[in-house]
Copies of this chain bind each other. A is one copy, B any other.
């Protein structure tokens, strides 16, 4: 089962050959990284990584994250060579073409063996922190017998230079995630040229200062690589291994320079590389003996998996782990019953508080929920009695103090969700969704069930002023495909949002919540036994007089819309109030439902304390009441009045349009 050391060189060259051939055929791509890290990857896969090509979703496999996702051919080559069903050699031949799963950057939703979608620099590394955290959490819950694996990362200079790296390193160091091992492709080259152009950092020194184990190796010396990886695996701290490599290793005239990073080698240099490497096989062909060596590696993992399957079958915890890893929710409707009882109340609370109330119901019932906040626990109201702290001393906890690390938190949550067995939710102020916006995007792209708790959602936060007042954020989040953006209007809609978010297996959700109190608008009479938010929008109040106006609002402005409707009805003007907590779910309804809510020939008016751009989709040439400028610093009620969010200022505008 163990590979003769003399075979490692040819095996690594198979990665190099496939990589340069695929990039050349596509006339697009990045040969430098796969060729430079081929030796390190060969040692990792042949001697360390626990994997079974026959079962890419086996829950106790090691996770391998190619954080430097532009080097995608590295992972495609590895998966193909080791015998995964996907990608096929045909896929690799069609690298970067529309009908191939071998996309420009590795995409988890196209290939089961790709653990996460990488390319946006720094985020693969940070997702790996989340995977390693999920592993320790599940280990603490299910024991070494069922959960005992590592997370291995290949990262480049870009991953380490990005700001998110500081957050990921700090989080991993504080949580002592010793099962996380990062192999840094230390090639001293970035796109612009030598790394010295832009950095003078002692990287190992920085990692050591954050509680990491650090090691170095010659990234082209198999024995030295194996030594360093063994050290990393043995150390109880997270590890960074600096693998000193030559970018594009094997391309005799281009290796070591920045031009080999992101362009095909060209036919001449490919030919020169083949000669240099002694590689005589035709393009996309791997000699049978070398392929056989690669294919033999899966046996170690297959054996481990068989043993694990036996343990899982014998364990009284096996079924529960399987449920969590499958992403199925626990059976029962206890939560729904509790929330239904709330309809009889009249709870005037901030929706951030309503969110906490909903979490107090859900977290005891859904043990895979793991919460947290980027240092705003008391403001985001994200911690419940069922979620004790998850710390280095006790990984069984369910609440992560992420620190002042919004981007790191979001990416870690992506990693936790993609690892499986965990439903992560985490909080920050809505305005700081900007800090983690690309990770939210990656939640959506990766189909990851991550729940963002975004509080302090408008000028309603008051005195903290425009730096902290979201204006464009709700609408901006609605722009991201496959993201459900909920802006609930009261305690009931908040509970509905949580139920829908937890149940959305392949879609992340953003819950947009107020700082200020909101009255309860929903009761049994206007709920009709339904989870009304599931349709995205619904008629909260039907016109009494002849309908001339439909008021559309979300969140804190639904209360105002109800008051405006009352004032209009007082003048004999019928007005519906439509609450629209989730546009994405509304857009998915059938045409008849949508047309019923938004009938033609009636003045439609939107009210939302944010930018109006976007509301025209629903109001057409109607009226948009919003805030198309930055806010100001003052108490909330002063600001709402000042910026025109009052019955007195809105009704005349509607009357003018009706005149």
A residues at B contact (CB < 8 Å): 26, 28-29, 69-70, 96-98, 100, 103-105, 107, 117-121, 157-158, 161-167, 170-171, 173-174, 190-193, 197-203, 205-206, 208-211, 373, 375-379, 389, 401-408, 431-432, 434-435, 437-438, 441-442, 444-445, 462-468, 471-472, 475-476, 478-482, 611, 613-614, 616-617, 620-621, 628-630, 632-635, 638-639, 642
Instruction: State A165–B406 Cα separation when bound (angstroms).
Output: 13
Q: Could you name 19 residue pairs across A and B whose Cβ atoms are closer than 8 Å?
A: A97-B635, A98-B642, A107-B465, A120-B431, A121-B404, A161-B167, A161-B403, A162-B405, A165-B166, A192-B376, A198-B403, A198-B404, A205-B206, A206-B209, A476-B479, A478-B613, A482-B629, A614-B614, A616-B620
B residues near A481, Cβ cutoff 8 Å: 471-472, 611, 628-630
Tell me the number of copies of this protein.
Answer: 2
B residues near A432, Cβ cutoff 8 Å: 120, 438
Instruction: State A613–B611 Cα separation when bound (angstroms).
Output: 13
Given known A-B contacts A190-B404, A209-B201, A373-B192, A28 and B462 have beta carbons under 8 A apart: yes
B residues near A167, Cβ cutoff 8 Å: 161-163
* Given A107-B633, A206-B210, A481-B611, 14 additional A-B pairs, CB 8 A: A70-B464, A97-B633, A97-B634, A103-B465, A103-B466, A105-B464, A158-B375, A162-B405, A163-B405, A174-B198, A434-B437, A481-B629, A614-B616, A616-B617
B residues near A614, Cβ cutoff 8 Å: 479, 613-614, 616-617
B617 near A620 with CB under 8 A, answer no
B residues near A105, Cβ cutoff 8 Å: 464-465, 467-468, 633
A200 near B191 with CB under 8 A, answer no
Q: Kindly identify which residue among B435, B438, B632 contacts A103, using a CB–CB cutoff of 8 Å.
A: B632
CB distance from A97 to the nearest CB of B (A): 6
Closest to A195 in B: B403
A479 near B468 with CB under 8 A, answer no
B residues near A69, Cβ cutoff 8 Å: 467
B residues near A616, Cβ cutoff 8 Å: 614, 616-617, 620
A468 near B201 with CB under 8 A, answer no
Instruction: State A100–B29 Cα separation when bound (angstroms).
Output: 56
Instruction: State A54–B376 Cα separation when bound (angstroms).
Output: 40
Instruction: State A482–B120 Cα separation when bound (angstroms).
Output: 28
B residues near A464, Cβ cutoff 8 Å: 70, 104-105, 119
Instruction: State A463–B441 Cα separation when bound (angstroms).
Output: 19
A201 near B210 with CB under 8 A, answer yes
A401 near B197 with CB under 8 A, answer yes
A202 near B192 with CB under 8 A, answer no
Closest to A209 in B: B205
Instruction: State A468–B462 Cα separation when bound (angstroms).
Output: 37
Q: Kindly identify which residue among B28, B98, B467, B468 contacts A639, using a CB–CB cutoff of 8 Å.
A: B98
Instruction: State A165–B26 Cα separation when bound (angstroms).
Output: 39
Q: Kindly identify which residue among B120, B434, B620 contacts A467, using a CB–CB cutoff of 8 Å.
A: B120
CB distance from A186 to the nearest CB of B (A): 15
CB distance from A174 to the nearest CB of B (A): 5
CB distance from A216 to the nearest CB of B (A): 15
Instruction: State A431–B467 Cα separation when bound (angstroms).
Output: 23
Q: Kindly identify which residue among B119, B174, B203 contacts A468, using a CB–CB cutoff of 8 Å.
A: B119
B residues near A467, Cβ cutoff 8 Å: 69, 104-105, 107, 117-120, 442, 445
CB distance from A24 to the nearest CB of B (A): 13
Q: Kindly identify which residue among B100, B191, B475 contacts A479, using a CB–CB cutoff of 8 Å.
A: B475
Instruction: State A202–B174 Cα separation when bound (angstroms).
Output: 11
Instruction: State A205–B120 Cα separation when bound (angstroms).
Output: 28
Instruction: State A167–B163 Cα separation when bound (angstroms).
Output: 5
Q: Kindly identify which residue among B166, B402, B444, B638 contacts A163, using a CB–CB cutoff of 8 Å.
A: B166
Instruction: State A389–B105 Cα separation when bound (angstroms).
Output: 31
Instruction: State A210–B161 Cα separation when bound (angstroms).
Output: 12
A96 near B621 with CB under 8 A, answer no
Given known A-B contacts A432-B438, A468-B104, A401 and B198 have beta carbons under 8 A apart: yes
A463 near B104 with CB under 8 A, answer yes
CB distance from A142 to the nearest CB of B (A): 26
Instruction: State A465–B161 Cα separation when bound (angstroms).
Output: 23
Instruction: State A202–B169 Cα separation when bound (angstroms).
Output: 12
Instruction: State A378–B190 Cα separation when bound (angstroms).
Output: 12
CB distance from A270 to the nearest CB of B (A): 18
Closest to A197 in B: B401
